[in-house]
Amino acid sequence: MACARGPLPEPGVLAALVQPTPQDRPAHEQSFVEPFREQVLELHARGVEGQAIWQLLVEQHGFGGSDSSVKRFLRRQARRRPAPASGSRSPRARRRKSTSATPASSSIPSSAGCAAPGSS
């Protein structure tokens, strides 16, 4: 057996090479949603919720999986997507920032230089 020479690929490249494709996984590990991947991802990208996507799959294709299988599929896909570009924040992060307890221009005086109670 010949031995390969040279530097190893980056860890991310190696991980992608050893990750099984959906077709390589045993039947019990494959998602019922996988055959409808493109349609599901397109609908979700347009803002359609998992429950509605499931209903469409049932009506249009006689889908035999549960609504939970569609939601689980969408969660797994979300974890695989790259992080948003810098400078963009999630609605939760924007909400957190806009409801801060003490705004920068607060009129609350600093405690520096204040006497302790009862020391006057």
Residue 51 lies in a domain: yes
53 within domain boundaries: yes
Q: Is the pLDDT of residue 105 over 50?
A: no
Residue 36 or residue 109, greater confidence: 36
Domain assignment of residue 67, yes or no: yes
Contact predicate 17/33, CB 8 Å: no
Number of domains in the chain: 1
How is residue 107 annotated by DSSP?
A: -
Buried b (16+ CB within 10 A) or exposed e, 10-41: eeeeeeeeeeeeeeeeeeeeebebeebeeebe
pLDDT digits (tens, 9 = 90+) for 50-103: 999 999 999 999 999 999 999 999 999 888 766 555 555 555 555 555 544 444
pLDDT given at position 45: 95
The per-residue pLDDT for range 13-33, each reduced to its tens digit, is: 767 666 655 555 555 567 889
On whether residue 91 sits in a domain, the answer given is no
Q: What is this structure's pTM? A: 0.47
pLDDT score recorded for residue 53: 96
Residue 20 lies in a domain: no
Domain residues for 71?
Answer: 32-82
Does residue 77 contact residue 83 with C-beta atoms inside 8 Å?
no
* 9 inside domain: no
